[in-house]
Amino acid sequence: MQTFQQDCVALAGELHARGRITRRGLMQALAALGATGALGREALAQAAKQLVMVNWGGLANEGFGKFYGAPFAAETPGVTVVQDSTGPSTGRIRSMVESGRVTWDLCDSSASGANLLGRLGLATKLDYAILNRENVIAPGFALDYGAAPYSFSSVLVYDSAKFPTPPTGWADFWDLKRFPGTRLLRRDATCTLEAALMSMGKPPGALYPIDMRAGIKRVAELRRNLVFWNNGSESEQLMRTGEAVMGQIWHTRASVLERETKGRIKFIWNQGVLQPGIFVIPKGNPGGELAQRLLASMLAKPEPQVGLLGLLGNGPTNPKAAAMVPAELKRFNPTDPENEKQQVMIDGGWWGERYQEINQEFLDAVTG
């Protein structure tokens, strides 16, 4: 028969699992109940059995659950991985950590986000005795405070019905005489400034440090022929309806448009900005080290990454995955060797130190 103390211990564990109390609060409650032996260990074990992976919604819920969460749960007895699609912004992560009420274990972020959260002491430093840097294609995909089990790119997309001669890079994007029509850019400085500088002849290998003034001035040249997008579906729709004839959008959305229009709307990999799909672990996450083991699993298995490419278009980051990608998907894979070599890798460390200041200045200058 369960004693009152056992029930209190069980209740404490349930409250922790629901995010009502922190792991520290759980341990304090167990100590107050005198449950420092087997009961306490059982409650802590129960609290660690559920890992919460946070994404941005849509098909990511299905994809991350099927290709990341399920394989880890299958090989880790007693552990479940649940998906939360409420959006793991750096602001929300910061609020959780600073309030001591962390309910998330693994969050879909970015290279700049990982560097920022790490610098502020809000993310867990990764243990590369658990994770393996050799399971990613480039150093920028395995950072101190985040690692990338998928990739994506910001590419040049265009309506081929409008341009008998196709654009080949960002210089053509800025050439309104040869390629007239409305342009589409993201309402964000990252990747936009890289494209602006490449349009001016800056070599892809010499973009950093970003010349912010020159980049902002270059974007301002397009103001009368420019619309901005705020989310992926909006970027698709603005190209689909013809409101814009050329744009910089995520390759996943460009792939959808190319297939949907049977090749009328096309995109090019040349001068694309390749980016790691970084996951971070908030400091004080409920699952503790299990979150690092989950992330290690996501990096180590190439087959699920190829599955995610087929479902979402996210590029694999494990070097072994390239040989497993079906021929019909290679065109849409940002880390395919032929596509990768045409692109520039974003410098997440550089952006992580400066993003907030530069982005605000960018927005004030070109959209104010």
- The answer as to whether 68 is a domain residue is yes
- The answer as to whether 2 is a domain residue is no
The answer to whether residues 268 and 217 belong to one domain is yes
- The answer as to whether 3 is a domain residue is no
Among candidates 258, 266, 272, which has minimal Cα distance to 160? Answer: 266
**pLDDT in the model for residue 47:** 55
Tens digits of residue pLDDT in 299-349: 999 999 999 999 989 999 999 998 999 999 999 999 999 999 999 999 988
Tens digits of residue pLDDT in 203-224: 999 999 999 999 999 999 999 9
- List the chain residues with pLDDT less than 70: 1-48
Q: Where are the alpha helices (DSSP H) in 200-241?
A: 212-220, 232-240
Number of domains in the chain: 2
- The answer as to whether 347 is a domain residue is yes
The answer to whether residues 186 and 298 belong to one domain is no
- Helix, strand or coil, per DSSP, at residue 131: coil
- The answer as to whether 1 is a domain residue is no
Domain extent for 160: 152-276+338-366
**pLDDT in the model for residue 60:** 87
- The answer as to whether 18 is a domain residue is yes
CA–CA distance, 64 with 337 (Å, rounded to integer): 24
Cα 363 to Cα 22, 190, 356, 360: the distances in Å are 38, 11, 11, 5
**pLDDT in the model for residue 43:** 56
The answer to whether residues 256 and 210 belong to one domain is yes
- The answer as to whether 58 is a domain residue is yes
The answer to whether residues 199 and 219 belong to one domain is yes
Q: Where are the alpha helices (DSSP H) in 85-184?
A: 90-99, 111-119, 170-173
**pLDDT in the model for residue 233:** 87
**pLDDT in the model for residue 27:** 64
**pLDDT in the model for residue 36:** 54
Among candidates 245, 276, 251, which has minimal Cα distance to 155? Answer: 251
The answer to whether residues 184 and 40 belong to one domain is no
CA–CA distance, 58 with 122 (Å, rounded to integer): 27
The answer to whether residues 120 and 17 belong to one domain is yes
The answer to whether residues 105 and 124 belong to one domain is yes
Among candidates 124, 128, 149, which has minimal Cα distance to 281? Answer: 124
Extract the runs of DSSP E, i.e. beta strands, from the chain: 50-54, 80-84, 106-108, 147-159, 183-186, 226-229, 246-250, 265-280, 344-345
The answer to whether residues 165 and 92 belong to one domain is no
The answer to whether residues 216 and 347 belong to one domain is yes
What pTM value is reported for the model?
0.83
- Helix, strand or coil, per DSSP, at residue 310: helix
The answer to whether residues 283 and 349 belong to one domain is no
Q: 64: domain CATH number?
A: 3.40.190.10
- The answer as to whether 105 is a domain residue is yes
The answer to whether residues 349 and 211 belong to one domain is yes
Amino acid at site 337: P
Give the number of other CB atoms < 10 A from CB of residue 71. Answer: 18
Amino acid at site 201: G
The answer to whether residues 170 and 145 belong to one domain is no
- Helix, strand or coil, per DSSP, at residue 309: helix
